[in-house]
């Protein structure tokens, strides 16, 4: 199958003659902090997938293990095995690394604990991986990504099951709330730099992805323009404590020490 792309012609032609490999299993890593409702929504949508993931790994970083019971509930009643790793007060990138150590080097979806995904989300990711090989994949971030669920949210789109993805773009940005790393990415780049605590660890990873892409002769990051994920919580930047802001400042300084003073302006 040949995808119609919005990518430049050389990129499109490169994959037009590639055979479609067998679709590989996909595991999911969810770092949980304290949003119990968000985690329930995320696990429910994953368990309801038309093509379910191979496994779901929840890293419970809460102080009171509040994600443990929710994860167990969906492990008992769902079609997908759920593994829970309790790691109180672990920072985000260390939590991602703990998840990666559990799933190993295979195609891995890393998502927030408050995402609402369409029913064919995993299916589209797996299909995209077979059509356009790359190191990483990202969905489109719709305008409602930072909406609050109690304002005026229309969930009607969730029940829509769009067709196969036919629209891809090369992008430079790896969205930290939802992305898939291929087996090749994990083999080449490894895990995350847990010297970062709150922010910029995903920015650091995307820079490392882009450097390794040439070695792998693959695109670094491909956006699937027909794939959406709704950020059920969002606006975490509005609820930062002084401690979190101090960590972000340190993360920014660390990022600039690696990539220059002009980096990390956001």
Orientation angle between helical segments 201-216 and 92-103, nearest 10 degrees: 40
262 burial via Cβ count (<10 Å: 0-12, 13-18, 19+): exposed
Q: Is 233 exposed, middle or buried (0-12, 13-18, 19+ CB in 10 A)?
A: buried
**Dist. CA 160–CA 132, nearest whole Å:** 24
pLDDT at 88 exceeding the cut of 70: yes
pLDDT digits (tens, 9 = 90+) for 34-72: 888 889 889 988 988 888 899 999 999 988 888 888 888
Residue with tokens 């929504």: 41
Predicted confidence at residue 265, as pLDDT, reads 61
Does residue 155 register a pLDDT over 50? no
> Residue 13: which pLDDT band, with cuts at 50, 70 and 90?
very low
The separation between CA 25 and the C-alpha centre of its own chain, rounded to angstroms, equals 16
* Strand partners of residue 179: 110
Find tokens 């790793």 and name the residue.
85
Higher pLDDT, residue 7 or 251: 251
Lowest-pLDDT range of 28-42, 114-128, 136-150, 192-206: 136-150
Token digits of residue 220: 């670094």
pLDDT tens track for 229-240 = 877 665 555 556
Confidence of residue 131 (pLDDT cuts 50, 70, 90): confident
184 pLDDT higher than 50? yes
- Overall fold of domain 23-259: Spore Coat Polysaccharide Biosynthesis Protein SpsA; Chain A (3.90.550)
Q: Percentage of the chain with pLDDT > 90?
A: 33
Q: What is the pLDDT of residues 190-217, one digit of tens each?
A: 999 999 998 899 999 999 999 999 888 9
CA pair distance 214, 210, nearest whole angstrom: 7
Return the higher-pLDDT residue of 127 and 27. Answer: 27
pLDDT category at 256 given cuts 50, 70, 90 is: very high
pLDDT (0 to 100) of residue 234? 54
Report residue 16 as tokens: 């037009």
Residue 9 has pLDDT above 90, yes or no: no
SS3 annotation, the chain: CCCCCCCCHHHHHHHHCCCCCCCCCCEEEEEECCCHHHHHHHHHHHHCCCCCCCEEEEEECCCCCHHHHHHHHHHHHCCCCEEEEECCCCCHHHHHHHHHHHHCCCCEEEECCCEECCCCHHHHHHHHHHHCCCCEEEEECCHHHHCCHHHHCCHHHHHCCCCCCCCEEECCCCCCCEEEECHHHHHHHCCCCCCCCCCCHHHHHHHHHHHHHHHHCCCCEEEEEEEECEECCCCHHHHCCHHHHHHHHHHHHHHHHHHCCCCCCC
Mean pLDDT to the nearest integer, 143-147: 47
Q: What percent of the chain has pLDDT over 70?
A: 76
pLDDT at residue 33, as a whole number: 85
């Amino acid at each position: 199958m040949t995808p119609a792309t919005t990518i430049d012609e050389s990129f499109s032609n490169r994959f037009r003659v590639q055979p479609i490999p067998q679709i590989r299993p996909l595991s999911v890593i969810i770092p949980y902090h304290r949003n119990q409702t968000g985690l329930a929504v995320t696990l429910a949508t994953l368990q309801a997938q038309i093509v379910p993931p191979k496994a779901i790994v929840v890293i419970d970083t809460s102080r009171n293990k509040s994600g443990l019971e929710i994860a167990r509930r969906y492990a008992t009643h769902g079609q997908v095995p759920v593994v829970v790793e309790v790691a109180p007060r672990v920072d985000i990138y260390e939590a991602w690394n703990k998840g990666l150590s559990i799933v190993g080097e295979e195609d891995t979806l890393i998502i927030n604990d408050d995402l609402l995904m369409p029913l064919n989300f995993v299916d589209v990711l797996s299909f995209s991986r077979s059509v356009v090989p790359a190191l990483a994949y990202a969905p489109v971030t719709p305008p409602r990504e930072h909406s609050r669920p109690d304002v005026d949210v229309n969930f009607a789109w969730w029940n829509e099951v769009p067709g196969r993805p036919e629209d891809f773009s090369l992008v430079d940005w790896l969205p930290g709330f939802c992305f898939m790393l291929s087996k090749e990415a994990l083999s080449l780049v490894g895990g995350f730099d847990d010297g970062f605590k709150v922010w910029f660890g995903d920015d650091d990873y995307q820079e490392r992805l882009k450097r390794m892409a040439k070695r792998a002769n693959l695109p670094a990051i491909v956006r699937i323009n027909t794939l959406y994920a709704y950020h059920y919580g969002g606006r975490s930047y509005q609820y930062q404590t002084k401690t979190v802001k101090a960590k972000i400042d340190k993360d920014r300084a660390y990022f600039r020490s690696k990539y220059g003073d002009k980096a990390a302006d956001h």
